[in-house]
Amino acid sequence: MDMSTHNLAVVILAAGKGTRMRSSLPKVMHKVGGVPMLGAVQETSAQLGARTMVVVIGPEMEHVRAYAQKQQPGCAVVVQETQQGTGDAVKYALPALEGFSGTVMVLYGDTPLLELETLKRLQDVLEADAKNAVAVLGFTPEDPAEYGRLVQDDTGALKAIVEYKDADAATRQIRFCNSGVMAFKGDLLPELLAALKNNNAKGEYYLTDCVEHAIAKGYRCQVAESPEDEVLGINSRDQLAEAEALLQKRLRLRAMQNGATLISPETTFLSRDTKLGRDVVIHPFVVIGAGVTIEDEAEIKSYSHLENARVGRGASVGPFARLRPGADVGAEAKIGNFVEIKKATVKRGAKISHLTYIGDAEVGEEANIGAGTVTCNYDGYQKYKTVIGNGAFIGSNSSLVAPVTVGEGAIVGAGSTIRRDVPPHAIAHDQKGQIEKPEAARKFKEEKTKAS
Ligand code: UD1
Ligand code: MG
């Protein structure tokens, strides 16, 4: 058993209002890769093995609390009443960390691209030596701008983090910067935080000052390095878009490495939780929202949109198909153009090839659903279910008024409105008989021609 993973707590700072987003939604609830940023950070923390998780939110962010606790049951959420700096924020997490002596990692809720391996490296650096008190994740940005600068000694150990506003010209020349991610020996954290003062340029309690205090107490501080694109913090909509683009690139690459063919990767949009099997083929211009699983050898053709859906082995979807939440497409099934499936199970080998709505339904194995079939599932108040048996055949342009069952092997004649159950192996249609008036068309046309 890897003990280190059982000794980790994560504190996620998310109290910032995110004014620059110009949004009524708290910043950390904006989505990247189909998942709110906070959820992404929580998920990575859980994968890292964090047993204790504390999210620090600001006042009037109660639905962030609800979201955080739904994502990770047992996650503590604390409110930082006034924002007096990153050090102040972590102080609010201390009661939830009472008695914890493992590693405490501090992450930001608005930095959603961090990878597991990078955080593991930081944890390893801290835990490598009993004399270490703090480890900081550094990076070398193209433009060091106003990031805190990491001051190292000859051995590479960290001497101090100097905030840009407090740095002299020489320190500002340093290009190695603080990403904001820091790891602490949990038993030292309370005393390091207690030592923080706010006599600095911003009048804040800087978490970064823990480094100096640790050194003063005789401990050592270390650095690990991160690629710049993993520590991108989101403050505005354009940074949100930048993060999305970076994440999409990463997700596409991962999908291909795992054996999916993306014919035009730059036009394939995936979610953080998209699961693609081997030999899945995705044609150009496909959007895959949250909660989608596509099994081996399935094919998704152009201009299809999928969310919260499963596509079974060898099935074919699209072009121009829409799989809405609860669509469960069985192996070898075919969903063709302009077909919408919602909360419905389509079993093995069924064919729904054109222009159809299937909602709140079950479609049996090898059933064939003709063009223009509609399950009439809603009466304006409630939803009702349609069940189509194995091997049933629904003629084109039929309306199935739910609740209704078409039995196994039954045939529904084209253009029918089916309001009652159809027994297995029966033929049902609602035709009133075809009316024919001999020669009427010719007379009609003659009259029209005379009149003009
Ligand atoms: C911080 C670091 C800086 C680093 C930079 C990386 C400090 C003192 N400085 O600076 O060294 O280079 O991040 O982006 O830590 N937050 C709270 N409560 C607070 C203050 C902040 O929850 O009272 C949260 C914010 O929502 C944000 C994060 O902490 O997610 C960072 O805060 P921010 O004010 O952006 O810190 P910087 O000044 O950018
Ligand atoms: Mg910042």
What's the mean per-residue pLDDT of the chain? 97
Measuring from atom 8 of ligand 1, which residue has the nearest CA?
Answer: 206
Note the pTM of the prediction, 2 decimals. Answer: 0.93
Catalytic residues: 354
What are the residues facing 53 on neighbouring strands? 10
| 292 and 309 Cβ atoms separated by less than 8 Å | yes
Please tell me the predicted confidence (pLDDT) of residue 435. Answer: 87
52-67 pLDDT, tens digit per residue, is 999 999 999 999 999 9
Q: What is the pLDDT of residue 233?
A: 96
350-452 maps to which CATH number?
2.160.10.10
Is residue 223 within 8 Å of residue 135, measured between CB atoms? yes
Pocket lining: 28 vs ligand 1, CB cutoff 6 Å = no
Query: What are the pLDDT digits (tens) for 81-99?
Result: 999 999 999 999 999 999 9
The answer, yes or no, to whether residue 316 has pLDDT greater than 50, is yes
Amino acid at 40: A
Position 6 scores a pLDDT of 55
Q: Residue 9 pLDDT > 80, yes or no? A: yes
Q: What is the pLDDT of residues 156-188, one digit of tens each?
A: 999 999 999 999 999 999 999 999 999 999 999
Considering Cα of 312, then 315, then 319, then 320, what sign does the dihedral take? negative
User: Which atom of ligand 1 lies nearest, measured to the CA of 17?
Assistant: 26
**Ligand 1 in reach of 92 Cβ (< 6 A):** no
What's the pLDDT tens digit per position in 98-139? 999 999 999 999 999 999 999 999 999 999 999 999 999 999
Measured from the alpha carbon of residue 91, the closest ligand is: 1
Q: Using CA positions, which residue lies closest to atom 17 of ligand 1?
A: 15
Binding site membership of 189 for ligand 1 (Cβ less than 6 Å) = no
pLDDT at 424 (0 to 100): 98
CB 16 within 8 A of CB 82: no
- pLDDT at 1 (0 to 100): 41
Binding site membership of 226 for ligand 1 (Cβ less than 6 Å): no
88 in contact with ligand 1, CB cutoff 6 A: yes
Q: State how far the Cα of 50 lies from the Cα of 11, in Å rounded to an integer.
A: 10
Long-range contacts formed by 311-319: CB under 8 A, 24+ apart = 312/348, 313/277, 318/283, 318/286, 319/283
Contact yes or no for 392/348 (Cβ under 8 A): no
Average pLDDT score over residue span 3-13: 79
Nearest ligand for residue 82 CA: 1
CATH of domain 3-231: 3.90.550.10
Q: How far is the CA of 180 from the centre of ligand 1 (A)?
A: 7
Q: Are strands 386-388 and 351-363 parallel, antiparallel or unpaired?
A: parallel
- Report the distance separating Cα 217 and Cα 186, nearest Å: 15
Q: Specify the residue with its C-alpha closest to ligand 1, atom 20.
A: 85
Atom of ligand 1 nearest to the CA of 147: 12
**Average of per-residue pLDDT across 351-378:** 98
For residue 232 and ligand 1, the question of a CB distance below 6 A is answered with no
Characterize 148-183 residue by residue with b for buried, 16 or more Cβ atoms within 10 angstroms of its Cβ, and e for exposed: bbbbbeeeeebebbbbbebbeeebeebebbbbbbbb
Q: What contacts 206, CB < 8 A, 6 or more positions away?
A: 85, 86, 87, 161, 163, 196, 198, 200
Sorted by sequence, the CB contacts under 8 Å of residue 377 that are 6+ apart come out as 359, 360, 361, 383, 384, 385, 386, 402
| Domain-wise residue ranges, the chain | 3-231, 350-452
Taking only the tens place, the pLDDT of each residue in 236-258 is 999 999 999 999 999 999 999 99
**Per-residue confidence band for 4, with pLDDT thresholds at 50, 70 and 90:** very low
Mean pLDDT confidence for 46-55 = 97
Block residue for tokens 């070398």: 140
Is the pLDDT assigned to residue 3 strictly greater than 70? no
What's the rounded mean pLDDT across residues 266-291? 98
367 phi/psi in degrees, rounded to 5 = -70, 155
β-strand pairing of 368-369 with 374-376? unpaired
- Among all ligands shown, which has an atom nearest to the Cα of 59? 1
Q: Which residues contact 299 (CB under 8 A, 6 or more apart)?
A: 280, 281, 282, 283, 315, 316, 317
The one-letter code for the residue type at 141 is P
In our burial notation (b when 16+ CB lie closer than 10 A, e otherwise), range 42-80 reads bbbbeebbbebbbbbbbeebeebbebbeebbeebbbbeb
**How confident is the model over 330-340, as a mean pLDDT?**
98
Q: Extract the tokens encoding 359.
A: 């909602």
Ligand 1 nearest atom to the CA of residue 161, by list position = 11
Give me the mean pLDDT over the 350-360 stretch.
98
